[in-house]
Amino acid sequence: VEANEAWREEVRRLAAEQDAVVLAHNYQLPEIQDVAHHAGDSLALSRIAAESTASTIIFCGVHFMAETAKILSPDKRVLIPDERAGCSLADSITADELRAWKAEHPGAVVVSYVNTTAAVKAETDICCTSSNAVDVVASIPADREVLFLPDQFLGAHVQRETGRDNLHIWAGECHVHAGINGTELAARAAAAPDADLFIHPECGCATSALYLAGEGAVPAEKVKILSTGGMLDAARETSATSVLVATEVGMLHQLRQAAPEVDFRAVNDRASCRYMKMITPAALLRCLREGLDEVHVDPDTADQARNAVRRMIEIGR
Ligand code: 13P
Ligand code: SF4
């Protein structure tokens, strides 16, 4: 406990000395979330990074998140405690693949999830996150074709919500969320009939949850498809005493803090993102002491990507 306290104080002291704001995604280790100035979902953290007056941003999350902060604020120093923290979903489409897909659908509007590389964002019209994907697609005139990438499960969610039949969806997935399957969810829900189900739209089990509701196995009002930030709002409002959570397990820490009286359980407690967990307490300290790893985005790529990211942070405010 004392060592932890000394670490916390050192992190905060070094951050103040360097005029740095420390941001942590909801999937980070509990101690990283607690020491950060702000914890949140991808959209909230992008907005905070864009509005912050600090000259350095320390992004405790994965690389595309730090890159997004750099695209929005090219004059700030952006650091990530370990640049190897990638994302299997961002890796599921390259800029070349996107250019080839666009050539097959001339005139289509390209909507990319924020979980993409800067080079893919530079080929994109509007970025989105899981909390505003439906609003972003709904903002596009109904007669325009849309290319939605790279997550097939988020794409299916957007298609259900918007009812659009001119939405083309890339077949990418996040290995952590795709691994939370419908059979497991059905068994957990049957064992806890009064529980709410909080399901991230990147999950393979989102369709199964809606199927269970359609079959009457679970009351429809208990099934909530939510971004990580949306889960926190729902946790503060729920009247349920237990909630089954289908997303990366780091989320449980924030949920338990938001609603200590509710029993939150993971649908799959092995759903841990090894990239998110590369940001260790030691890595954060090294980052503050040595200024590593610094995130650079090629200035031309950043200029081409900036409008798409700006539109993302404006839609759904
Ligand atoms: P959100 O925080 O936007 O829900 O994103 C989830 C995610 O998988 C980020 O890697
Ligand atoms: Fe990427 Fe999935 Fe990890 Fe999120 S949980 S950072 S989408 S690999």
Residue with CA closest to ligand 2 atom 7? 174
Q: How far is the CA of 62 from the centre of ligand 2 (A)?
A: 8
Strands 242-246 and 223-225: unpaired
Of the candidates 34, 88, 116, the one whose C-alpha atom is nearest the C-alpha of residue 284 is 34
What is the distance between the alpha carbons of residues 72 and 51, in angstroms, rounded to a whole number? Answer: 9
The CATH fold assigned to 180-266 is: Rossmann fold (3.40.50)
- Per-residue pLDDT of the chain (317 residues), as tens digits, is 778 999 999 999 999 999 999 999 999 999 999 999 999 999 899 999 999 999 999 999 999 999 999 999 999 999 999 999 999 999 999 999 999 999 999 999 999 999 999 999 999 999 999 999 999 999 999 999 999 999 999 999 999 999 999 999 999 999 999 999 899 999 999 999 999 999 999 998 888 888 888 888 888 999 999 999 999 999 999 999 999 999 999 999 999 999 999 999 999 999 999 999 999 999 999 999 999 999 999 999 999 999 999 999 999 77
Residue with CA closest to ligand 2 atom 3? 273
Tell which atom from ligand 1 comes closest to the C-alpha of 176: 8
Residue with CA closest to ligand 1 atom 7? 42
* Ligand found nearest the CA of 276: 2
Tokens of 103: 């050539």
Top CATH class of 90-174 equals alpha beta
Do the Cβ atoms of 208 and 177 come closer than 8 Å?
A: no
Whether residue 89 has its Cβ less than 6 Å from ligand 2: yes
Q: How far is the CA of 196 from the centre of ligand 2 (A)?
A: 24
Give long-range contacts, CB 8 A cutoff, 24+ apart: 292-296: 292/79, 293/79, 293/80, 293/81, 293/82, 293/83, 294/77, 294/78, 294/79, 295/59, 295/63, 295/66, 295/67, 295/69, 295/70, 295/78, 295/79, 295/80, 295/83, 296/70
Residue with CA closest to ligand 2 atom 6? 87
pTM for the full predicted model: 0.95
Tokens of 178: 């795709």
Q: How far is the CA of 228 from the centre of ligand 2 (A)?
A: 12
Do the Cβ atoms of 92 and 298 come closer than 8 Å?
A: no
Cβ neighbour number for residue 134 with a 10 Å cutoff: 20
pLDDT digits (tens, 9 = 90+) for 239-281: 999 999 999 999 999 999 999 999 999 999 999 999 999 999 9
Of the candidates 39, 47, 67, the one whose C-alpha atom is nearest the C-alpha of residue 232 is 39
Tell which atom from ligand 2 comes closest to the C-alpha of 273: 3
What is the distance between the alpha carbons of residues 303 and 299, in angstroms, rounded to a whole number? Answer: 6
Tell which atom from ligand 1 comes closest to the C-alpha of 25: 2
Q: In the prediction, which pLDDT does 211 show?
A: 81
pLDDT digits (tens, 9 = 90+) for 129-145: 999 999 999 999 999 99
Cβ neighbour number for residue 169 with a 10 Å cutoff: 18
The domain segmentation of the chain, as residue ranges, is 2-85+276-296, 90-174, 180-266
Local structure of 297: helix, strand or coil:
coil
φ and ψ of 246, to 5 deg: -110, 90
Which CATH code, of 3.40.50.970, 3.40.50.2300, 3.20.20.70, 3.40.50.10800, is assigned to 2-85+276-296? 3.40.50.10800
Whether residue 129 has its Cβ less than 6 Å from ligand 1: yes
**Same-fold call for 90-174 versus 180-266:** yes
Q: How far is the CA of 174 from the centre of ligand 2 (A)?
A: 6
For this complex, say whether ipTM is above 0.95: yes
Edge to edge, what strands does the sheet with 167-169 contain?
A: 126-128, 109-113, 146-149, 167-169
